[in-house]
Amino acid sequence: MNHIILVPLDGSQASLKALSFAITTAKAFQDDLLLLHVIQDDCNHDDVFIEAEKMLKEATVTYTSKFRTGIPPIEIADEAKEQNVRQIIMGSLGMNPQVSYALGSVSERVIPLAPCPVTFVS
């Protein structure tokens, strides 16, 4: 039985690095990937998965892409609970240039909500 690794994507370089690490992890454990993008506004977000799908074309892992609408940390944790994921692998910093801490605001807020281990990639 394959487990699922959740990879939240926001289009940032950190999220693509997290995806690269998740691909390696999924191959090692024969897990599936679930790519998640959380929409907070009315903008078109179709391009978020373009670079990710280029990376995944070269990899031999099974994956699903999904959009959710809402507050990112809550939606990430809810998706992890609903899908009973093994792990969340996400970028440590996202698209917000004002956040320059060790962890971004979304990353920091996912930790207490997550039902599983969370790995941050910088």
Question: Which pLDDT belongs to residue 12?
Answer: 84
Which letter does DSSP use for residue 113 in this model?
T
Question: Which pLDDT belongs to residue 98?
Answer: 45
pTM over 0.75: yes
Residues 6+ apart with CB under 8 A from 37: 8, 9, 10, 45, 48, 49, 65, 66, 67, 68
CB of 87 within 8 A of CB of 7?
no
Residue with tokens 């179709």: 46
pLDDT in tens, 60-118: 899 999 999 999 999 999 999 999 999 999 998 654 544 444 455 788 899 999 999 99
pLDDT in tens, 16-36: 999 999 999 999 999 999 999
Q: How far apart are CA 24 and CA 18, in angstroms?
A: 10
Q: What is each CA distance from 83 to 6, 13, 105, 113, in whole angstroms?
A: 9, 25, 23, 15
